[in-house]
Amino acid sequence: MTAALLLAGAVPRLLPSEPTDPAGLAGHTARYGPPPLVPGQRQRDALIAEVDRAGLTGRGGAGFPTARKLAAVAAGRAPVVVANGTEGEPASAKDRVLIACSPHLVLDGAVLAAEVTGARKAVIVVHRDVRAVLDEAMAERARARSDRVRLEVRAAAEGFVAGQASAVVQWVQRGVPAPTATPPRLAQRGLRGAPTLVQNVETLAHLALIARYGAAWFRSAGTPAEPGSMLVTVLGAVREPGVREVAIGTPVGQLLDLAGGASAPLQALLLGGYFGTWVDAAEASARPFSSAGLADLDAGPGAGLIAALPASACGLSETARLVRYLAGESAGQCGPCMFGLPAIAGQAERLAEGRGADLGLLHRWLGQVDGRGGCAHPDGAVRLVRSALRMFGPELPVPPGGGR
Amino acid sequence: MTAPARLRVDFIACDGRGLCAEALPELITLDDWGFPIVSGRAVPPRLLADARATVRLCPKLALRLDTGR
């Protein structure tokens, strides 16, 4: 039986509770029990309603309500499911750790998402590092003949924007991981024109548990507004960097403690990812790691990432390095992103090196790039730089004319 | 009462030819790299005909006039 797991509020749910827990199908079934059947329309509607009551939101970074996405895709004709385990965010490891530890939970979720939307096929796109784990899990399931939908595994494209939902669809469809324009939304017209559900692999794993244990169980961890657990990657100046599963709303300082605590006096934290927001380490420490808890710092959990910056490091140099990387990762489709990000990176580098950056020009370019791409890539880079200017800007020598 | 119309740019399609900004300077300017910055506000009724003509002028079909949401 699954008594330990069903314990209200107990975490981890997705990751093994003991390091020795096996990732194989037998161990998986022993821990969680078999996934429920979703044979007819009534059961499908009931599961979508249960996911809605659970309050599950996408764990890929955007946080969109999963039930609404499921319902939108289920309303279309001959839909298809794409499980997104691309993990394009270089600092994040949570999707890879999840797949390595609990491949069958992800596959259960992909199958359930397909059944609930009426899709006959689910394509699982995964980071190359864990492709073999998933192939092995697929082989086990084929031998057990347990799945009622067709599952297909594809290695993900490399690169930051390759994880963006429409880029994943383009990668599967034509081998080019480039975002496409909206509208149409993927739920209306995605993979080869079919209504397409693109869902992060962690979201699907949560779905597989909600289908088994229900909304009330799911809500027994987390906050009333943001229920459930989430995977968090903690890295930088901590003693034991890595991925942990925590209840949403766990204080930021506690997440650092779970990672062995700070390995040096900390200055700032980058929350959310390369697209994230720099915040003061001391100020953020008592804050719940949730959208609500971080909103007034202009930050959010994003894809579940905390990078700790030691007091000895230069925040502006780190930021310049990140923006130069993001500029190089532009898909090169949209002018403002293609030309604007390198220009912004150049100013950020001048700023970091004290080579006479033009702050007025930098602010002008941030404004000209924000919100002007086919995907959110430029917006994320702008958010990062703006937060760096807020966080590390006061140390700057005031340039002639006040810098504006 | 008709819904307000707003200009939108598909930046994936847009090549920065700049015709739109020449044809409709009241609502479209160019950024430092020559790509259009369109006003996010509703197109005033007196400019609606010009806006429609400008949409037709775009060689990349990257400009559109959105009504509704």
Taking residue A254's Cβ as centre, other Cβ atoms within 10 Å add up to: 14
Of A375, A367, A374, A378, the residue nearest A339 (C-alpha): A378
Q: What does the pLDDT look like over B8-44, one tens digit per residue?
A: 999 999 999 999 999 999 999 999 999 999 988 899 9
Q: Of A333, A343, A365, which is closest to B12 when you measure between CB atoms?
A: A333
Q: Model ipTM?
A: 0.93
How many angstroms away from the CA of A232 is the closest CA of chain B? Answer: 33
Q: Do B37 and A340 touch (CB under 8 A)?
A: no
Asked if the Cβ–Cβ distance from B32 to A180 is below 8 Å, we say no
pLDDT digits (tens, 9 = 90+) for A303-328: 999 999 999 999 999 999 999 999 99
Q: Residue B15's domain spans which residues? A: 6-66
Using CB atoms, pick whichever of B11, B32, B37 lies closest to residue A365. B32
- Predicted pLDDT at A305: 96
Contact A336 B35 (CB under 8 A): yes
Q: What is the CATH number of the domain that holds B36?
A: 3.30.70.20
- How many whole angstroms separate alpha carbon A115 and alpha carbon A169? 20
- B34 at A interface, C-beta within 8 A: yes
Q: What is the pLDDT of residue A23?
A: 76
For residue A41, what are the CA distances in angstroms to A45, A56, A115, A116, A170? 6, 21, 10, 8, 30
Q: Give how many domains chain B has, as a whole number.
A: 1
Tokens (6 digits) for A197 = 């559900």
Q: Which residues contact A328 (CB under 8 A, 6 or more apart)?
A: none
pLDDT recorded at residue A322: 96
As given in the structure block, the two tokens for residue A120 are: 């006959």
What chain A holds in terms of domains, given with CATH numbers, is 3-218 (3.40.50.11540), 229-310 (3.10.20.600), 315-403 (1.20.1440.230)
CB A235 within 8 A of CB A91: yes
Q: Is B31 on the interface with A (CB under 8 A)?
A: yes
Residues of chain A with Cβ-Cβ distance to B34 below 8 Å are 335
CB contact under 8 A, B14 and A334: yes
- Answer yes or no: is B12 within a domain: yes
Q: Would you say how long chain B is, in residues?
A: 69
User: Is residue A139 classed as helix, strand or coil in its secondary structure?
Assistant: helix
Task: Tell me the whole-structure pTM to 2 decimals.
Answer: 0.91
What is the DSSP code string of A67-118? HHHHHHHHTSSS-EEEEEE----TT--HHHHHHHH-HHHHHHHHHHHHHHHT
Find out whether the peptide bond into A12 is cis, omega within 30 degrees of 0: yes
Q: Please list every residue in chain B whose beta carbon sits closer than 8 Å to the beta carbon of residue A180.
A: 12
Count CB-CB contacts under 10 A for residue B45: 10
Asked if residue A240 lies in contact with residue A274, where contact means CB atoms within 8 angstroms, the answer is no
Residue B1 counted as domain residue:
no
